[in-house]
Structure 1
Amino acid sequence: MTDLLSSLNERQREAVTTTEGPLLIIAGAGSGKTRVITVRIAYLISERHVAPHNILAVTFTNKAAQEMRDRVNKLLGGQKLAGAPLVSTFHSLCVRMLRRDIEKLEEGYTRSFTIYDQDDSVRVVKACIKDLGYDDQRLGARQTQGAISHAKNSGLDADAYAARVEAHDERRAAVARVFKLYEERLVNNNALDFDDLLIKAVRLLRKREEVRAHYNERFRYILVDEYQDT
């Protein structure tokens, strides 16, 4: 234990060794928050004897996730482990969950779904605009896709978005129609956009008790880097 904690200051040690119950670390940039998380993972495994597969660490970028894995492996160097902690980005974690259980949402998707990036989404939106007879010079595909993305991240599906459109707002009414057709085409193509990955994973956990129970049992310790951005 001494070796694990030797590079930490007093407050960092406190954060690492406080292992039970919720813990929020507030500190400025460059103060060692990510290092605390990686040492905390190693501490849980080597000192608290937590099974590695019961630990989940989440961050925002693939690069950050790989760096975290490398740091943990270095800290645990030489130890024979039965499995490894899951260190993942938010989107990768959601993909993993949906590949396992998306069919339980009963929304027409299968586990072999395709993931559309932003360019794919814009392309589908552009086709929807054309097929609905709108002028794509007045209703730009990229701006419309941005409006749809914003609506999704605000918790609105196509019907809820349409219900909020005021009668005289022709542009938003057009976006609502495009949104509706866009969603239909995603389902028909068994495709999810980046927003869907997060939204449908959350919906899955909220709607299906057995899925929620599975992850409650699997992940006893969850550590989130850059929590302020979630």
Structure 2
Amino acid sequence: MPNRIAVSDLARAAYCPRQLHYARRDEDREPPPAVREIRALAFEYPTLLTASDDELSTRPLAATPTTYRQNLRRLSERDEWDVLTEPLDREVLLTGKDCRGVAHKLVGDPVVPSVVSPGMPPERGVWEPQRVRAVALAKALAWEREREVPTAYVEYPAHGVVRTVRLTTRNKAAYRRALRIARELDFVPPRLRDSAKCDECAYREQCGVKTRTLRSLFRR
């Protein structure tokens, strides 16, 4: 059986193989404190929903208090609200046939994994690296529990937004593509050209690309 690939490596492979190359050379791959603070919001939705403007202004939100509460109010009207706000477990290491990684939450009945992202959601759906991560964790959970896991969630708690990822043919193909890249990467991949992804990459200075902005968080 091939070595199991870290789920975080799969997300990076989907984002940019060159970023994965640099990350594998980096001894410290723990998320920075700012990322941990944003992820903590995902466990406080009911409190944040009723918090005052002053209270919300002290939290690492990426939306105004009014917009944030509106987003959480819409989330509270969804069937998933109860399972997302009362997870069965958190920070769970899942080990599958091909990959292993941490699900930030296990929720629901039947149980599915949830990925908590520090970044910004796209206008619709989920960014590909996060879709790959969600599919990987769903497949790992399915391997452990010996049952199908057809969906997963991706949460963007700084925005109060949660999206569903289904294990469609397209999403599973993206996962397999990232898995192949992560397994076969034994060289320095070429730089991306004229990509907005470079603006957001923590390794942009090592890579030597010219960027247009200095954003601090990955879409991962």
**TM-score normalized by the length of structure 1:** 0.23
Structure (1/2) with the larger strand percentage: 2
Structure (1/2) with the larger helix percentage: 1
Give the number of the structure whose alpha-carbon radius of gyration is greater.
1
